[in-house]
Amino acid sequence: MGMKLNRSSQLVLAAAASLLAASLITACSQLTQTLTVDFVYVLSAKAAGANNYGEIDVFEINSESGRMRQIPTSPFPSAGRDPVAEAVSADYANLFVVNQYDNTIVQFGIGSDGKLYPFDTVNTPGIYPMAIAVNKSNVFVVDTFEPLPLCSTADPCPGSIAVFPLAAGGSSSSAPCAATVCLSAPVVNTAVNGSYWPLTLSGASANHVIVPTGVNVLASGSYVYVTAYDSSVSPLVGYVFGFSVASGGVLAPLAGSPFAAGVQPSAIASDSTGTYVYVTDFAQGQVLGYTVASGALTPLSGSPFPAGNQPSAVVVDPTYPYAFVTNSLDGTIDAYSMSNGSLSSIGTYATGEDPVAIGIDPSTNHFLYTVNFLGNNVSAFELSTGGTLLDAQFSPYAATAEPVAAAAVPHNGTGGGIQQ
* Of residues 161, 160, 43, the one with CA closest to residue 99: 43
Q: Are 196 and 214 in contact (CB under 8 A)?
A: no
| Region 31-36 average pLDDT | 61
pTM: 0.89
Q: Are 43 and 83 in contact (CB under 8 A)?
A: yes
Residue 7 CB partners (closer than 8 Å, separation 6+): none
* Of residues 250, 113, 93, 114, the one with CA closest to residue 168: 93
Q: What is the pLDDT of residue 24?
A: 43
CA dist., res. 223 & res. 168, Å (int): 22
Question: What mean pLDDT is reported for the chain?
Answer: 90
Which comes out higher in pLDDT, residue 150 or 234?
Answer: 234
Identify the three-state secondary structure at position 17.
helix
**Residue 368: C-alpha distances to residues 8, 84, 144, 420 (Å):** 54, 20, 29, 23
H/E segment holding residue 107: strand 104-110
CA dist., res. 264 & res. 190, Å (int): 31
Which comes out higher in pLDDT, residue 132 or 365?
Answer: 132
- Read off the pLDDT band of 349 (50, 70, 90): very high
As a whole number of Å, the CA-based R_g of the chain is 24
| Region 48-57 average pLDDT | 81
Amino acid at 399: A
CA 18 to chain centre: 48
Q: What is the pLDDT of residue 3?
A: 46
CA dist., res. 56 & res. 154, Å (int): 30
Q: Are 318 and 359 in contact (CB under 8 A)?
A: no
Q: What is the pLDDT of residue 140?
A: 98
Q: What is the pLDDT of residue 414?
A: 54
* Neighbouring-strand partners of residue 142: 131, 161
Q: What is the pLDDT of residue 105?
A: 98
Instruction: Give the strand pairing for 223-230 and 237-245.
Output: antiparallel
* Of residues 68, 119, 73, 58, the one with CA closest to residue 94: 119
Is 7's pLDDT higher than 50? no
Q: What is the pLDDT of residue 266?
A: 98
- Read off the pLDDT band of 350 (50, 70, 90): very high
Is 420's pLDDT higher than 70? no
| Region 296-310 average pLDDT | 98
* Of residues 324, 254, 245, the one with CA closest to residue 295: 254
Residue 149 CB partners (closer than 8 Å, separation 6+): none
Q: What is the pLDDT of residue 6?
A: 53
Which comes out higher in pLDDT, residue 32 or 82?
Answer: 82
CATH, domain range 35-413 = 2.130.10.10
Report the percentage of the chain scoring pLDDT > 70: 89
DSSP 12: H
CB atoms inside a 10 Å sphere around CB 231: 15
Q: Are 346 and 337 in contact (CB under 8 A)?
A: yes
| Region 311-326 average pLDDT | 96
**Residue 387: C-alpha distances to residues 10, 268, 288, 302 (Å):** 53, 20, 20, 20
Q: Is residue 314 packed enough to be buried (19+ CB in 10 Å), middle (13-18) or exposed (0-12)?
A: buried
Q: What is the pLDDT of residue 385?
A: 81
pLDDT tens digits, one per residue of 73-82: 999 999 999 9
| Region 322-326 average pLDDT | 98
pLDDT tens digits, one per residue of 83-138: 999 999 999 999 999 999 999 999 999 999 999 999 999 999 999 999 999 999 99
CA dist., res. 171 & res. 180, Å (int): 9
Q: Are 67 and 59 in contact (CB under 8 A)?
A: no
Q: What is the pLDDT of residue 154?
A: 87
The string of DSSP codes covering 41-100 is EEEE-S--SGGG--EEEEEEEETTT--EEEPTT--EE-SSSSEEEEEE-TTSSEEEEEET
Region of residue 63 (left: phi > 0; alpha: psi -120 to 50; beta: else): alpha
